[in-house]
Amino acid sequence: MTGPRIDGARLLGRLQALGAIGRDAEGRLTRLAASDADRAGREAVAGWMRDAGLEVMLDRVGNLFCVWQAGAPGAAPLMIGSHIDTVVDAGIYDGCYGVLGGLEVVQALREAGVQPARPIAVAAFTNEEGVRFAPDMMGSLVHAGGLGVEAALATVGTDGAVLGEELARIGQAGPHEPGFLRPHAYLELHIEQGPVLEREGVPIGAVATLQGISWQRVTIEGVANHAGTTPMSMRRDAGLAAARVVTFLRDRVSRANAPTVATVGCMAFEPNAINVIPSRAVFTVDLRDPDEDRLRAEEAALSRFLDELAAAEGVTIAVERLARSGPVTFDPAILRAIEDAAARHGLRCRRMTSGAGHDAQMMARICPAAMIFVPSADGISHNPREHTAPADLVAGAQVLLDVARRLACGETGVPAA
Amino acid sequence: MTGPRIDGARLLGRLQALGAIGRDAEGRLTRLAASDADRAGREAVAGWMRDAGLEVMLDRVGNLFCVWQAGAPGAAPLMIGSHIDTVVDAGIYDGCYGVLGGLEVVQALREAGVQPARPIAVAAFTNEEGVRFAPDMMGSLVHAGGLGVEAALATVGTDGAVLGEELARIGQAGPHEPGFLRPHAYLELHIEQGPVLEREGVPIGAVATLQGISWQRVTIEGVANHAGTTPMSMRRDAGLAAARVVTFLRDRVSRANAPTVATVGCMAFEPNAINVIPSRAVFTVDLRDPDEDRLRAEEAALSRFLDELAAAEGVTIAVERLARSGPVTFDPAILRAIEDAAARHGLRCRRMTSGAGHDAQMMARICPAAMIFVPSADGISHNPREHTAPADLVAGAQVLLDVARRLACGETGVPAA
């Protein structure tokens, strides 16, 4: 093996340092988008970017970039990105690994004296998690033109705050119009957040597709009545109807022998009293599939089941669509470059589907894009127990470096922008 | 028809007046046990008792009695009782109808110049609903010797208050030892809180049995994981397991062609996030049956199912018993007296089972007891829409009067205490 190498200690040190920012009194990590903790994290990242001699830029929706101005004048940049906002009580790798991995790649290439044919930008997109402000992946969505900047800035958070006001308050509302950097290609390095790589003992995932995601909220209205005095045959039990949906989804999806996944994550009964038949059940349905036709078929099957259920149980059912994104197919030439790089380093690599949403799915709307995954211990993420072995983190960043070098030096089949 | 008649207008007026006490700013009726609203309700009822020339007494656990001292010296009293504490956002009839109906019966008998062979007491038992302090039916349970007075007074409420301190604060901790009035027999007039009488067009229910009640809290522990990245086969989904319990109970009980009822009224998922597989589900199971053997069989079937489910879904399941009472059989001689009284007034009457718990089930431990039910519109109770037609309320109280007169004058087969 020859060529530039990333500095693993520097990368791992920055991951730990960023992961220490935004801890509460109990030590829990929470850096919600456009919060004071987010500001502190952004300032640390921007500081490292400047220390590396790179120009830092902010756009109006708070997307943070550093740019290595290189190559031919006017050439579209290669962009490497992810996010540094977190969920509540988060781990330290989700998103941060991609941003700090990108910065490490640029720094290592510069230090090795590589002369790329185009600029390389590193992006930290605003509000990928969508915990405080909806929708998630907001910054990259705005960058890709899928949501207007004014609409994004007017978003009201779960705490009543307005995103635009919060970005201004924390000094992260920049001058640039979103989308001002139109990439030649986009790369994102991320922990898998699932168990596949660890289970198979494979250190590198070349993410070929990203599942389509369908989020719905279902509200079932029955009739509250006394649990002791209402015969079973006279009940209109919203809770029972909700349970039938949960078991229907599991049984249908498990039988199908397809990669579809279905989850009911939120559930609430009203009045939620031990001796009262539930009058109302509200729950969410998260359906994902890498195939759009199959995802639509699952949505349709659920809809038919709800119609039958309403008639059978004497309840009324309302469905609200919360989010919907179609599957994404990543760029085959970049995928081959990932596989080549892994092979050159003696790392096993498999093509895979991402079950989670990522900024890369938004960027794939405007340029060739792909993702590199590394294993997540026990498949756990969005949790303090989120963990990837240091050797895997370093290996993933090295593969990213090699792919970035080929893309920025024009050595792949990705056509020039 | 001859004999003393109750004053329907007086009874209905007092029901409305008591129902106006304990309203919040939105007009919702809530008189939780030993609250300021409960004090106001108790003072109104005690005032009406004194206005009727009756002696008012309180025991140490706050049970409120008025006694018409009549008949042979030392004769055990006939007791007519219920409660005036309510659930949150309650109707005006549950409990109050029994207390005010009892007071109306005593007043009407006195005004008619009836000379009973024994005293007649009217009881308003403390904390029948059990919303603020557990267990429910506490005052009658203490009166019947099923719970020590010190233990009851030490009960800590959902708001952290101690029952004994609250009773003292509202001036309702009396001097008498609970159980000081040992009844000859006990009668309770109550709304059905179920749909049976209304559906069949029958105005009077002679309650022959009261269901055994089993309350359990089930906690299922699975593993939280990402909803998009965790294959269905690798999930340990506490929410799915909870849904399987809900559908199991419904399907089993509905198939059985028995009077068993099963309800899952409370349900909570953790972390309760749309894109996270639930790590924990906590829910309640309310099982009721008038037959103790069948109730035990249902409890055992649930327990077996939970064992199988834990193994099948890779979850752990813990069960906590919250409450358990065996079925109660009421006194056949009093039931015949109820049927006779209904017939004399030309009112259809049916024997029935009470699905709800009542103070009468505690009093049945120490004396012959029975209950009279009147129809509930749409079977609704524990709700502002709780309603019984005025004519039905008056008819039920008239039947109570006739039965009370026969019991207090020694005209039934109920043996002297």
Q: Read off the pLDDT of residues B200-249 as tens digits, 9 standing for 90 and up.
A: 999 999 999 999 999 999 999 999 888 998 889 989 999 999 999 999 99
Establish if A315 touches chain B: CB-CB under 8 angstroms. Answer: no
Read off the pLDDT of each residue in B129-140 and give the average, rounded to a whole number: 93
| Predicted-complex ipTM score | 0.79
**For residue range B274-324, what is the model confidence (pLDDT) as tens digits?**
888 999 999 999 999 999 999 999 999 999 999 999 999 999 999 999 888
Residue A417 has a pLDDT of 40
Read off the pLDDT of each residue in A280-302 and give the average, rounded to a whole number: 96
**CA distances, A193 to each of A52, A197, A292, A330, A378 (Å):** 30, 10, 22, 18, 9
Listed by start position, the domains of chain A span 8-210+327-408, 212-324
**For residue range A345-402, what is the model confidence (pLDDT) as tens digits?**
999 999 999 988 999 999 999 999 999 999 999 988 888 999 999 999 999 999 999 9
Q: Cα B374 from chain centroid?
A: 14
Residue A80 has a pLDDT of 98
Establish if A192 touches chain B: CB-CB under 8 angstroms. Answer: yes
Establish if A234 touches chain B: CB-CB under 8 angstroms. Answer: yes
Determine whether the interchain pair B250/A242 forms a contact, defined as Cβ–Cβ distance below 8 Å.
no
Inform me whether the pLDDT recorded for B417 exceeds 80: no
Q: Cα B144 from chain centroid?
A: 15
Confidence category of residue A2, pLDDT binned at 50, 70, 90: low
Determine which of A275, A288, A325, A361 to mutate to test the interface with B (most B C-beta atoms within 10 Å): A275
- d(CA A154, CA A168) in angstroms, rounded, equals 12
Q: Which CATH architecture has domain A212-324?
A: 2-Layer Sandwich (3.30)
**Contact of B139 with B38, CB cutoff 8 Å:** no
The length of chain B is 417
Residue B134 has a pLDDT of 86
Confidence category of residue A336, pLDDT binned at 50, 70, 90: very high
> In chain A, how long is the greatest CA-to-CA distance?
81
Asked if CATH classification 3.40.630.10 holds for the domain at B8-210+327-408, the reply, yes or no, is: yes
Confidence category of residue A416, pLDDT binned at 50, 70, 90: very low
Task: Locate the chain B residue with the closest alpha carbon to A358.
Answer: B228
Task: Locate the chain B residue with the closest alpha carbon to A375.
Answer: B229
Is A274 or A120 the better-scoring residue by pLDDT?
A120
List the single residue in A227, A273, A284 with the smallest CB-CB distance to B261. Answer: A227
Inform me whether the pLDDT recorded for A85 exceeds 80: yes
For residue B135, whether the previous peptide bond is cis, meaning omega lies within 30 degrees of 0, is yes
Determine which of B217, B263, B385 to mutate to test the interface with A (most A C-beta atoms within 10 Å): B263
- d(CA A207, CA A373) in angstroms, rounded, equals 7
Question: What tokens does B181 get?
Answer: 């009035």
Determine whether the interchain pair B228/A247 forms a contact, defined as Cβ–Cβ distance below 8 Å.
no
- Backbone φ/ψ region at A90: left (φ over 0), alpha (ψ -120 to 50), beta: beta
Q: Who's near A369: CB < 8 A, 6+ residues apart?
A: A185, A186, A187, A188, A330, A331, A334, A360, A363
Q: pTM of the prediction?
A: 0.78
Amino acid type, B185 = A
Establish if A222 touches chain B: CB-CB under 8 angstroms. Answer: no
Average pLDDT over all residues of chain A: 95
Determine whether the interchain pair B240/A246 forms a contact, defined as Cβ–Cβ distance below 8 Å.
yes
DSSP secondary structure of B236-249: --HHHHHHHHHHHH
Establish if A90 touches chain B: CB-CB under 8 angstroms. Answer: no
The length of chain A is 417
Residue B341 has a pLDDT of 97
CATH number of B212-325: 3.30.70.360
Determine whether the interchain pair A264/B239 forms a contact, defined as Cβ–Cβ distance below 8 Å.
yes
**Contact of B404 with B79, CB cutoff 8 Å:** no
Establish if B384 touches chain A: CB-CB under 8 angstroms. Answer: no
* Chain B residues whose beta carbon lies within 8 Å of the beta carbon of residue A196: 229, 231
List the single residue in A196, A230, A243 with the smallest CB-CB distance to B379. Answer: A230
